[in-house]
Every structure is written in structure tokens, then in C-alpha cells.
Amino acid sequence: MRVAIFGAGYAGLGVARRLERTLPDDDDLVVVDESGEHVVRHLLHRGIRYPEELAHVRLPLGTVLERATIREASVEALDHTAGVATLADGETLSYDIGVVTLGGEPEFYGLEDVIEHATPLHRPSDVETIRADFEAVLEDGGRVVVGGGGLTGIQTAGELAALARHRDASEAVEVTLLEQSDAVPPGFDDRLQTAVADALEAAGVVLHPSTTITGATADAVAVADGEPIPYEQFVWAGGIQGPVAQAGDRPTVPATLRLSENAFALGDAAQVVDADGTRVPPTAHAAIRQAGVAATNVTRVIEHRRENGGFAPRLDRYRHDETGWLVSVGDDAVAKVGPTLLRGDAAKAVKTTVGAGYLSSIGAFGDAGAHLRETVFGQSPDA
């Protein structure tokens, strides 16, 4: 049998590494990914200030996978009934079980002019573009508008403001964060929102909650019930939609993560409802934990088919546990660990440990060490 994993983010890599250990040797394991590398997205924003760190968050799949066949290609369409994937190069790939972990794409809510004028923070190349554009703002002064006050938007705004401060450009450069909800990050508890707002203010970020972006021109962001906001640079962090192969959809899947008879979906590519009926937020923590459930269930389905049927296999069910949240704001951080809210050095220590711990967990020990050295001992943002 052939298991095809589409996408090698947190969920996809986690499933692949587990299946490498559990699939029988005569079963094929194929990982299809557009870049052929695993991107540690929760550290991606750091590349705005520290370009060298991009090397440690882009891991060639051949360095973290041992048995799987790696196929570098974009996925255009998936037919789970037929068990066929159509790839961007025009070729097709057949499979017996598909695991959809293609992640999400930036959601622009039909705002075509925002697509034209804003740079999303989604891929490593976006980080390079954002930093290059910001260099011009640092040189000439002006405003950077970050659209979207979720974790990505907060961390992006924090990095930009910190870089301006390190370049002694805080007076000439303004970083403005726009969010349509009444607090950032939306959907979090009041204590965390207050702590994040305080950290943004201390970092020099101008926060505008309850502000809905309705469009953009080459030099201004249009907002509902207000005057256009001029900018020299516009960065977008307004949410996610499903991948191209799912026509932008993020299908709802139950706690077993089973999308159809021949497919599973998890991570940002799906809207997961856990064993308690809770809709799970699209976070790295959730994707990593879902991977274990998906790998177990794929193995059980294969065993069931090899045994020629009988009773339906008993599948594990994912139950979300909210262990905490981490968000960096430039040189500061806010962490919620259980009921405890941490700020400053304590929060930064937790975030650094989590980042290095994840890299170590996937076998990237050298990158984990580099992340610790760069985070703990620091480096010049001018490097």
C-alpha cells in the first residue's frame, strides 16, 4: 500500500516521522511538499531582525526524514475517492491513503487591492521581502502598517519595532498594528490581552483595535468608519484559508481526523472538532499533537485492510489540551502556562526552550543549539 502525505509542516512531518517507524517495510511512504523543506513557522518572524536564523528554521526534509520518498511539488487537486493527486507539474500520484497536511494560505477576504499592495508573512521568502522593504523605511522614515492582530501580526509588529529601535530610528519610524476585534490577540482571555497590549505599547507599536481594513492603495490602507491610514510599507497577517488543492476550503473533520474513507486531514488544512466537541484553534501545538493521532489511525486502517475487512477499525480521537500560549513582542514576550501569566525574562525563557525543544524533537540538534545561542546570547540585528 502507499500512504501519501501532502505537506510537511508541523502536522505532516509529525505523521511522516511516526509512520517511518510503524509502517511495514513493503508499504510506500511518500511526502509531497512544494519546497522540499520543513519550515518552523513559529520562529519565522525572527528572521525579520535576525536573517541568519532563517537557516535554522528551514530544514531540508532529507535531514529530518529517513525512509520516506520525498517529492518536491505543489499539489493542485486531490481526489480521495480515486486516490489520485494532481501535481502542478502535470503529473499524478496515486495513493491508497492520503494525509492532507498542506497547511493554510493567507486569507485576504476578497480584498484584491490588499493582495496587490501588502506582503503576507507566510514563507521564508516573505520574511526576506519584509526586511528588505523595511530597510527603505529605516532609511527614509515613515509608517509600517501591519494588518491583523493575531499572534503572527503581533510578533511581526514587535520585530519591526525592535529593529527600528536598534537602528535608533524609533522617532522616524512608526509601526502600526490594526485589528478588527476590540483586543489583541482576538479570542484570548482578558489577562493575556492586557499583557500583550502593554508589551506592544512598551515596544513602541501603535495599536488600533476595532479597526476593519476594507482596502488599500499604493500608499494608504482604507478602513471602515475612518480616514485612510498612510503607509510606506504594508504587511498582512489577517488569517488563513485552506490550500489551493482544497479550493481554499478548510473542511471540518471529527476527532478521528478522518476526512473520508481514504483520507485524513489535520493541522491548518482542516477545522478539527475534538473529542469534547471543541473547535480546535489552528496552532503549531495542536498540529503537532494531532499528528500522533493521525499516524496511529492510518496504521490501524492499513492493518484492517490487510486483514481483509471485518469490523471497522477502532480509531483514536484527538482531545485538545490548552497547555498555554506564547507570543514574543520584540525583545519582550508574554506566556501563559496553565493559570500562570509570565512576562519578561521568564516568558522569553519559556519561548526559547519551546523553540529549541521542538527543533530537538525532530532531530535538528544543531539548529536547536544555534537557536539557543542566538536567542540567549543575542546577535546584532545589523548582521
Whether 46 is covered by a domain: the verdict is no
Asked whether residue 155 falls in the same domain as residue 229, the answer is yes
CA distance 100 to 113: 30
Does the residue 90 lie in any domain? yes
Range of the domain at 8: 2-34+73-104+242-306
- pLDDT of 142 over the 90 cut: yes
- Within this chain, do residues 15 and 134 fall inside the same structural domain, yes or no? no
What cell was used for 307?
486483514
Q: Number of structural domains, the chain?
A: 2
CATH number at residue 97: 3.50.50.60
How high is the pLDDT of residue 61? 97
Query: Bigger pLDDT: 102 or 382?
Result: 102
> Region 88-104: what's the mean pLDDT?
95
How many CA atoms lie less than 13 Å away from 378 in the CB half-sphere?
A: 7
Whether 352 and 214 map to the same domain: the answer is yes
Of the ranges 293-297, 329-333, 345-349, 361-365, which one carries the lowest mean pLDDT score? 361-365
Query: What's the mean pLDDT in 133-149?
Result: 97
Q: Does 291 reside within a domain?
A: yes
Report the alpha-carbon angle 347-350-356, nearest 5.
140
Shared-domain flag, residues 142 and 269: no
C-alpha dihedral, 174 to 175 to 181 to 185, nearest 10°: -140
> Residue 15 CA to chain centroid, in angstroms?
17
**Closest of 50, 37, 192, 227 to residue 127, by C-alpha:** 50
Q: Is 65 contained in some domain?
A: no
For residue 111, give the amino acid letter.
L
Query: Are residues 254 and 216 both part of a single domain?
Result: no
Write out the three cell numbers for 363.
532531530
* pLDDT, mean over the chain: 93
More confident residue, 375 or 173: 173
Is 57 inside any structural domain? Answer: no
% of the chain with per-residue pLDDT over 90:
83
Whether the Cβ atoms of residue 243 and residue 74 lie closer than 8 Å to each other = no
For 271-300, what is each residue's pLDDT tens digit? 999 999 999 999 999 999 999 999 999 999
Q: Give the pLDDT of residue 155.
A: 97
CA distance 53 to 348: 17
Return the pLDDT at 357. Answer: 84
For position 118, which CATH number holds? Answer: 3.50.50.100
| Pair (98, 27) in one structural domain | yes
Q: Is the peptide bond before 185 cis (omega within 30 degrees of 0)?
A: yes
Burial 292-309 (b: 16+ CB within 10 A, else e): ebbbbbbbebbebeeeee
Q: Are residues 157 and 184 in the same domain?
A: yes
| Ramachandran assignment for 320, one of left (phi > 0), alpha (psi -120 to 50 degrees), beta (any other) | beta
Residues 132 and 185 occupy one common structural domain: yes
Of 291, 311, 313, nearest in space to 302 by CA: 313
The stretch 76-89 carries a mean pLDDT of 96
Q: What is the mean pLDDT of residues 53-65?
A: 93
pLDDT at 265 over 60: yes
What is the pLDDT, as a whole number, of residue 381? Answer: 43
